[in-house]
Amino acid sequence: MPNMEKSLLPEIVHRRSGRAFSDTPVSDDDVRLILEAGRLAPSCANTQAWDFVVIRSREVLEQAHEALSRGNAWAKNAPLMIVVATREDGGCGAHGLPYHMMDVGLAVENMLLQAVHVGLMGHPTAGWNEERLKTTLGIPEEYRVVTVVFFGHPADPATLDEETKAKEYAPKSRRDLSEIAHWDRW
């Protein structure tokens, strides 16, 4: 077997939570691939403690947009909105830890990486009114909305307002590996 150079997956390197979305629809095939990527994520004891509400119709998107915080107004251009929900008692109960939240995070990251793979952009958000989303979308009371992820084709950031444009052009920053990796002991 040839000695191949090891590197990070391009999808990891190029993934970003952009805010400039084109209103070009996401194809049925790409939506299905994004959902399959989420479905195939690992989960504690294989509980698969996630549900996805996929919103594509303009009418339902507009209703769901009413639950967004002002800071997420940029997301209204995205043609695909996926609300990710879980039941707090729906995941693995090992050690009394909330593994269902980790499971949801794994599913969302799979979806974000798949979006990059097919030439799309995804942006998970935290700025929305949970009760309004649940009412609008008919999400059962025992579920919690963990995140709302917007997907679509990237657009020219020049279309954004000045404040959002500044965030879009800000350099990607991450803590240095030496700050976060502890070898053998903390």
SS3 54: strand
State the pLDDT at residue 28: 98
Rounded to an integer, what distance in angstroms lies between the CA atom of residue 61 and that of residue 106? 25
Query: pLDDT tens across 106-160, in order?
Result: 999 999 999 999 999 999 999 999 999 999 999 999 999 999 999 999 999 999 9
Count helices and strands in the chain by DSSP H and E runs: 7, 4
The residue ranges of every structural domain in the chain are 20-166
Q: Does the 20-166 domain belong in CATH 3.30.70.260?
A: no
- Average pLDDT in the chain: 94
State the pLDDT at residue 31: 98
Rounded to an integer, what distance in angstroms lies between the CA atom of residue 78 and that of residue 41? 24
State the pLDDT at residue 2: 55
State the pLDDT at residue 144: 96
| pLDDT band at residue 1 under the 50/70/90 scheme | very low
Query: pLDDT tens across 23-54, in order?
Result: 999 999 999 999 999 999 999 999 999 999 99
State the pLDDT at residue 83: 98
| pLDDT band at residue 9 under the 50/70/90 scheme | very high
Query: pLDDT tens across 53-101, in order?
Result: 999 999 999 999 999 999 999 999 999 999 999 998 888 877 888 899 9
Residue listed under structure tokens 């509400």: 53
SS3 165: helix
pTM to 2 decimal places? 0.93
Rounded to an integer, what distance in angstroms lies between the CA atom of residue 122 and that of residue 15? 8
